[in-house]
Structure formats: structure tokens, C-alpha cells
Amino acid sequence: MLATIAVIVNTAGSNFSVNGFAACFVGNAGSGMVALSANTNANTAGVTLANLSGSSGTVSINNATWTNANFFSVGSFGSGVLSMSHGTLSTDSLTFAHEAGSTGVATFAVGSTISNAGTLIVGLLGNATVSIDSASTMTTGTTAVASGAASRGQIDVNTTGSALNVNGLLTVASSSGSNGTVNITNGASMNTLGALVAGQSVGSTGTVNLSGAGSNWNCTGALHVAYYDTSTQKLMYAVKPNGGSWSTPVSITNATGVGTYVSMAVDSTNGVGVVYADETNADLLYAYKPAGGGYSSN
């Protein structure tokens, strides 16, 4: 029999703690819920919401604080929900919708603060949505939206005072069949150190939308795009420097009919490496462009 377990902490000054090396599972095989409110605190060393297939896990942080040392996973194989209102969350990493078929949903509202020291993944292999609203702020490391094959990921940052601060690279739709979207609306802002938006793998779709007065995306690095041009059947590359305009697209290789599967990364010297498939010859190829130079293929 699957159990339903709820933990409610709502007396000011109370603490919910999971000590030692054991992780906290909220909904392992059944349904689980943890609710913090009224200036309470939680301290954990790893959190998983909805661990097994068919499970569900919900965490609610309302005018309370959760401090986590290690991973925080919302929807491992099941359906995870994380909601915050005027709350504070600190964690070492944050992942939504870890496995295929899983879902992860988060709503951060009413001046909530999220501090993630490591990587943020919104849709690793499943379907995930994260909303940052009502003057809430998330500060995180490298961020991937729709990371794995056939994954779905969306981040919505809405209203003046709401912000997503990415202290690293933002990647949107990086794998075959993935679909990622970031919406910055109604005066909200996003700050990144660079971005890779779609075009990295066949069938991937990545979008960043800015709408509404005062909405802003400040990218202190450059935006890089690698994509397969179906009209010329060539693998192409373009870059948009911070504050500048898009470069004229250039071909990464002179070969045609290659590059329908592609992945890209930027190194610490601003060199751009691209791995792509040659399906005709069943080969995996690599091209590298040093900063200020052209592509060479191997």
C-alpha cells in the first residue's frame, strides 16, 4: 500500500532537520508533503521530491527558510511541486524533472529569495516549469533549460523587481528533440554571463522572449548559436557580442549534409568547440574556433 505522509511545521522558531548523510525524500513511493510557515526553518543534506515512478512530493515554504547542503531534486521519477511565498531557499544544486516521464513545477512568489550555489536544470529528461514572480529573485550558477533529449523546460520571470541572475552560462534546448523557453515579462530582468540558445541538436527548439515595458536581459558575455541550415545543408555559426549585433553566419565546415546533430561549448579563452554528426559516414566530428579565428575541423 502506498502511504501519504505530511509534515507541517508552523510554530515560529521551530526547526525541521534531517541530520547525517541521509537525504530527505518527500514522496518516495507514495505521496509526501512538507509545509513550512510562520518563521520556521528546515535544514537538510539532500532533498528529493517524488522519487519513484508514480509518486508525488510537495514542499511549501511560506514566510520560512529552507537551507540544504547538497542536491535538491524536484520530480525524480514522479511529480514534484515546490512553492514559495515570501520564503528563502539556499541549496548547492537544483534540478527539476530528472527522469523521462517526470514533472517538476516551482512557483516562487511574493519576494522569495532563492540562492543556488551550483547548477540549475529545468527539465533534465522530463517536463519542468519554474515561475519567478512578484519581486522574487533567483541567483544561480550555470543554468540549463530543457537539457536532455526530448525534455521540456520553461522559466517565467514576471513583474518589476523579479530577477533571474545566472552566474555562468545559460543554455536553452541543448539536446535532440528538446524544447526550452525563457520568458522575461512585465519589467522583470535576467542577467547571464553568456548564452547558448537552441540549434545545438536536431529538432531542438529554444526561445528567449522579452515583452513588456522595462523587461531586460543583460548578457555580459556573448550569445553563440550553432545550427543546421536546411536550405544550404550546412552547419552554421553566429555570435552576438554583449551590446553588439549578430555576426554574419559562417559555415563551420565546407561539407554538406552534416551537422544535424550538434553540441557546442565555449571555453575559458572564449574559444568555441562544436561536436557534430556525419550521418552519411557514421562519424562524429569536432571543430574548434579560437577567439578571433576561424573554424578548423577534425
Predicted local confidence at residue 2, as pLDDT: 47
For residues 1 and 88, the model is more confident at 88
pLDDT over 70 percentage in the chain: 92
Residue 82 has pLDDT above 90, yes or no: yes
Strand partners for 157: 132, 184
The grid coordinates listed for 79 are 511529480
Does 297 score more than 70 pLDDT?
Answer: no
Per-residue model confidence (pLDDT) at position 202: 63
Q: Are 91 and 68 in contact (CB under 8 A)?
A: yes
pLDDT range class, residue 204, cuts 50, 70, 90:
confident
How large a percentage of the chain has pLDDT more than 90?
A: 62
pTM of the model: 0.82
The x, y and z cell numbers of residue 135, run together, are 519581486
**pLDDT at residue 282, rounded to an integer:** 85
Which pLDDT belongs to residue 19?
A: 60
* 166 exposure class (CB count in 10 Å sphere: 0-12, 13-18, 19+): buried
Distance of CA 141 to the CA centre of its chain: 10
Quickly state the pLDDT bin for 223 (edges 50, 70, 90).
Answer: confident
123 CB neighbour count, 10 Å cutoff: 32
The pLDDT tens digits for 162-180 are 999 999 889 999 888 899 9
Mean per-residue pLDDT, 84-100: 98
Question: Cα(105)–Cα(103) distance, rounded to whole angstroms?
Answer: 7
Average pLDDT over residues 233-241: 89
Work out the average pLDDT over 38-42: 92
If one compares 268 and 178, the residue with the highest pLDDT of the two is: 178
Please give the pLDDT value at position 36. 94
pLDDT tens figures, 106-163: 999 999 999 999 999 999 999 999 999 999 999 999 999 999 999 999 999 999 999 9
Residue 101: all three cell numbers together: 516521464
Residue 1 has pLDDT above 50, yes or no: no
pLDDT value at position 137? 98
Decide: residue 1, CB within 10 A, 0-12 exposed, 13-18 middle, 19+ buried: exposed
Given this model, what pLDDT does residue 242 score?
78
